[in-house]
Structure formats: C-alpha cells, structure tokens
C-alpha cells in the first residue's frame, strides 16, 4: 500500500509540472551618462595651465622647482613652453 502511494505520488510529480510563471528577461540597463568624448588637443595652440604638481622630488621645495621651470598656473602655454621648462630644469642640474 505504501509502495503504491509512493508510486502514485512520483508519477503525479512527473506528469503534473509545477505551475510556475515564466519570467520575462530583465530589460537592458539604461545608461544615464553619455559616453566619454575624445578630446583632441592641438599642441601648437595655447591653453590655460590649471595646476602644476611636482612628484618624486626629495631635495628642493615644490615651489622652488615650479619657480625654476618658469611656468605659472593660469598661464597660457603650448608644447614649446613645456619643452622650455624641461630644458631649464635639466640645465639646473637637479
């Protein structure tokens, strides 16, 4: 008797699948931010120098190195200005 009940329940489980609702796939996530735009800068055109940061120095004060470079925040600079600042710092023997 127990065997026949177990067999009936097993067959019932196989023949009568559970009533589950099918899930709809989640909609793709919407991105709220626009893709980053590539900015092309012409190094021959001047642009404002926002900040100057000195890294790796252990001998002189940051302000002294900036003074020696000849560059100042807010100054309009080109690639040539950076090349000249590099030459000044190299010539100083740092």
Q: What is the average pLDDT value for the chain, to the nearest integer?
A: 80
Classify residue 88: in a domain, yes or no: yes
Please, which pLDDT band fits residue 37 given cuts at 50, 70 and 90?
confident
Query: Above 70 in pLDDT, residue 44?
Result: yes
Q: How far is CA 8 from CA 2, 4, 13, 14, in A?
A: 10, 6, 9, 10
Classify residue 76: in a domain, yes or no: yes
The count of domains in the chain is 1
Classify residue 23: in a domain, yes or no: no
pTM of the model: 0.53
Classify residue 82: in a domain, yes or no: yes
Least confident residue range of 18-22, 47-51, 69-73: 18-22
Classify residue 8: in a domain, yes or no: no
Residue 77, strand partner residues: 47
Classify residue 6: in a domain, yes or no: no
- Domain holding 54, by residue range, is 47-94
Classify residue 3: in a domain, yes or no: no
Query: Any residues with CB less than 8 A from the CB of 81 and at least 6 apart, and which?
Result: 71, 75
Q: What is the pLDDT of residues 10-29, one digit of tens each?
A: 655 655 555 656 677 777 77
Classify residue 9: in a domain, yes or no: no
pLDDT at 59: 87
pLDDT at 58: 86
pLDDT at 82: 92
């Amino acid at each position: 008797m127990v065997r026949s009940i177990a067999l009936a329940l097993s067959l019932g489980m196989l023949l009568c699948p559970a009533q589950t609702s099918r899930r709809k796939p989640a909609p793709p996530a919407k991105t709220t931010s626009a893709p980053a735009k590539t900015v092309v800068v012409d190094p021959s055109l001047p642009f404002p120098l926002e900040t100057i940061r000195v890294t790796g120095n252990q001998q002189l004060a940051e302000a002294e190195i900036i003074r020696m470079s000849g560059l100042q925040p807010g100054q309009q600079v080109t690639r040539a200005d950076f090349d000249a600042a590099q030459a000044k710092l190299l010539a100083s023997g740092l």
